[in-house]
Amino acid sequence: MISTLGRFSLALALAIALYGVIVSILGARRRSPSLVASGRGAVFAVFGLATFAILLMEAALVGRDFSLQFVARNGSRGTPLFYTVIALWSALEGSILLWIWILALMSLLVVLIEGKRNREMLPYVTAILLSVSAFFLFLAAFPANPFTAIFPPPADGRGPNPLLQNHPLMAIHPPCLYAGYVGWSVPYAFAMAALITGRLGGEWIRTVRRWSIVAWGFLTVGVILGGWWSYAVLGWGGYWAWDPVENASLLPWLTGTAFLHTVMVQERRKMLKVWNLALIITTFSLTIFGTFLTRSGILSSVHAFSESTIGPLFLAFIGVILLVSFGFLVYRSDGLQAEGDLDSLVSRESAFLMNNLLLLGFAFAVFLGTLFPLLSEAVRGVKVSVGEPFFNAVNVPIGLVLIFLMAIGPLIAWRRASLESLRRTFTTPLLLAFLGTGVSSFLGVRGLYPLLAFALATFAAATVIQEFVRGTVTRRRMTGEGYLVALSNLTRRSQRRYGGLIVHLGVVLVVIGVTASTVFRQEKEVTLQRGESLHLGRYQVRFDELTAWQEPHRFVVQGTFTVFNGIHKVSQMRPSKRFYSSEQQPIGSVDVRSTPREDLYLILSSFERDGDSATLKVLIRPLVMWIWLGGAVMALGALVAIWPDRRRVLAAEPVKEQVAWQPGRS
């Protein structure tokens, strides 16, 4: 029953999406409002059917309907309700369903929100979004159908991969990442609509910028949460391993970040039009490429999902996107002449250009390193991987220069910066940067890169804080408002600027967290007898006992360790190993004690069956919490940047917005 209904709703949604594509295009060409309205209707219908399909699947999962293959594979009677609900995205078919639903939701929002403002372009936007939907609906309706039935149904299912039912983060990391991926469909749809209609003027880029920030925000949170999940679940003490799937999520983030910067140049100076369109197309293609990498199994990864036949389909889809998009770009290149010109090399424009070059260089290195085994095998017939040393050697220096640019970019004037303005803006941050270097060197930081990282982080943080302080003080003097009111009004007056600066502050926190947790990392692995202690840093970790018990879906062996700092008892920690019936080997579950200063990370590596001894791995990683905090600050900045502006809603005039957008000291 569920199987039939589900298959039917997906097939119907596919048909409606294709219908919507055709009527939207026809409607736009023939200027027929009824056809266009019908295309809009298709968006509503696809959203309705996608919602229905996803609810059906959830009903089957929660109802433990093992006659569905997906439920039989990813659900089980012993799996707790929470992990049963989120099992939807623990395997290929279900996550495509989630993807479809998020895309349908975004398409609906676009039609509802942008319906009035971009009347000319909207039919094409609708058509593009529905085409992308149609591709994923095709996958779900045919090769990766989540509603495939099995007969006879098994008595119990296998349950999700233990790694995917070990931490509540699984509930938000994949949906956030998907929203980040899917979100880029919207800017892409607008870019293509602009190319198709030839309406390449300023208005669409303003709309796109907002949607890009939404997608970028979700992608940022998704990437950071991915690191957090890896840290909390995979039990190796790290949060980023340059794994192909991690890289796949970083690639669109890098190109998307590049776009968010040069789009400002286009808005202000009417330059870089082709470049921006190319960046949107690339970013969107990379989101699809990311899904392809995750799902095709061509590269080994921690996310090595079951290999499936959909790989070639993804490659074909990416090929079509690139061909059609860049084809239109070339076709319309006459209408994309820059109206402005670069005035000086010392200007915000050129800082942004440099930032773009480096972000793309970063992305290229990540792309190359990720695909290197495939490339070397294709070119030279030998499989060679490059791994962490490569990514660190290339991306750390690029990253450092990017932080420098991040610090100066927002404060340097458009067009041409005078020496006087540079001096006034950067003297204090520069002094603070030297101070920061001194302090970190005093604290024991050695080596060029770590010292530079702390110096640049201080510099960047100082520029941002100085900007907020100066703005607030000036506003307070002019208006007589209190400090907090002045700060909030300042931010509200140019949200995008101050939102961006908040994002930069978040990046600084991430940089500090990553550098400190890498440079000052300590670890030790020792086999302890009961009552024995291990010493690491300022901690003593005593092995107290080993306990074991049976839970409905797993058997748990847990070590109890008491942590002391000198004579003070700090806490009791309980890392464990969990034996799932569906797996032959245990899954480790780490225990982490997080403080703003440092994380203490305990891994139960091994134990004797009699419980007398256990092998324990202990890691101390300073400032790891700052990374997650930095992610939250970045998300906050994105939120500030897109928060609906009362004045703009009232005025709804692009000109107004440009007035509100006041660059720093220019």
Angle between helices 495-519 and 387-408 (to 10 degrees): 140
Give yes or no for residue 373 binding other proteins (CB under 8 A). yes
Residue 522 binds other proteins (CB under 8 A): no
Sketch the per residue contact string, 434 through 473, with other proteins: x for CB under 8 A, - otherwise.
----------------------------------------
Cβ–Cβ < 8 Å for 475, 481: yes
Number of residues counted as binding other proteins (CB under 8 A): 69
Among 300, 309, 337, 427, binds other proteins (CB under 8 A): 300
Phi/psi of residue 604, each to 5°?
Answer: -85, 100
Smallest distance from the beta carbon of 32 to other proteins, in angstroms?
Answer: 47
Distance CA 535, CA 227 (A): 28
Work out how close the CB of 467 gets to other proteins at its nearest, in angstroms, rounded to a whole number: 26
Which string of x and - marks every residue 380-409 that binds other proteins (by CB under 8 A)?
--xxxxxxxxxx-xx--xx-----------
The span from the CA of 437 to the CA of 482, in Å, is 34
Judged by beta carbon, residue 496 or residue 621, the one nearer other proteins is: 621
Give the number of other Cβ atoms within 10 Å of residue 274's Cβ. 16
Nearer to other proteins, 205 or 603 (CB): 603
Distance CA 29, CA 36 (A): 10
Binding test (CB under 8 A) with other proteins, winner from 37, 323, 368, 439: 368
Omega into 152 within 30° of 0, i.e. cis?
yes
SS3 for 592?
strand
User: Whose structure tokens read 């039009």?
Assistant: 273
Positions in 336-365 near other proteins (CB under 8 A): 342-345, 350, 353-354, 357-358, 361, 364-365
Q: Phi and psi for 483 in degrees, rounded to 5?
A: -60, -50
How far apart, in whole angstroms, are the C-alpha atoms of residue 609 and residue 71?
A: 35
Backbone angles phi, psi at 558, to 5 degrees: -125, 135
- Binding residue for other proteins, selected from 301, 425, 437, 494, defined by CB under 8 A: 301
> Which one of residues 7, 40, 158, 554 is an interface residue with other proteins (CB under 8 A)?
158
Q: Which is nearer to other proteins, 298 or 660 (CB)?
A: 298
Question: Contact, 306 vs 258, CB < 8 A?
Answer: no
Site string for other proteins, 227-256 (x = CB under 8 A): -------xxxxx--x-x-------------
> Using CA atoms, how far apart are residues 250 and 227, in angstroms rounded to an integer?
11
User: Quick one: 626 exposed, middle or buried, by C-beta within 10 A (0-12, 13-18, 19+)?
Assistant: buried
* Sole binder of other proteins in the list 305, 468, 564, 661 (CB under 8 A): 305
Question: Which residues in 583-612 contact other proteins (CB under 8 A)?
Answer: 583-588, 605-606, 608
State in angstroms the smallest separation of the CB of 84 from other proteins.
17
Under the binding rule (CB under 8 A), the answer on residue 73 touching other proteins is: yes
CB 459 within 8 A of CB 433: yes
Q: Name the nearest CA neighbour of 239 among 530, 17, 517.
A: 517
Chosen residue from 55, 112, 113, 304 binding other proteins by CB under 8 A: 304
State the SS3 of 232-250: HHCCCCCCCCCCHHHHHHH
Q: Is 480 left (phi over 0), alpha (psi -120 to 50) or beta?
A: left
x/- mask, other proteins, residues 270-299, rule CB under 8 A, reads ---------------------------xxx
Residues whose CB falls within 8 Å of the CB of residue 505, separated by 6 or more in sequence, listed in order: 461, 464, 465, 633, 637
Nearer of residues 107 and 296 to other proteins, judged by Cβ: 296
Distance CA 44, CA 67 (A): 30
CB of residue 90 to other proteins, shortest distance in Å: 8
Cβ nearer to other proteins, comparing 20 with 162: 162
Structural Rg of the chain based on CA atoms: 27
Span near other proteins by CB under 8 A; candidates 431-439, 472-480, 523-531, 620-628:
523-531
Give the range of 197-205, 366-374, 431-439, 647-655 binding other proteins by CB under 8 A: 366-374
d(CA 141, CA 466): 55
In the complex, minimum distance from the CB of residue 362 to other proteins, in angstroms, rounded to a whole number = 9
CB 91 within 8 A of CB 140: no
Nearest distance in Å: CB 363, other proteins? 11
Q: Is 201 exposed, middle or buried (0-12, 13-18, 19+ CB in 10 A)?
A: exposed
The DSSP code for 154 is: P
Which of 275/498 has CB closer to other proteins?
275
Binder among 51, 197, 527, 562 for other proteins (CB under 8 A)? 527
Residue among 343 and 545 whose Cβ is closer to other proteins: 343
Residue 314 vs 391, nearer CB to other proteins: 391
Q: Between residues 388 and 551, which has the closer beta carbon with respect to other proteins?
A: 388
Check residue 270 and give left, alpha or beta (phi > 0: left; psi -120 to 50: alpha). Answer: left
Candidate segments 24-32, 309-317, 406-414, 576-584, binder of other proteins by CB under 8 A: 576-584
Interaction site with other proteins (CB under 8 A): 73, 91, 158, 161, 163, 234-238, 241, 243, 297-302, 304-306, 342-345, 350, 353-354, 357-358, 361, 364-365, 368-369, 372-373, 382-391, 393-394, 397-398, 523, 525-527, 577, 582-588, 605-606, 608, 613, 615, 617
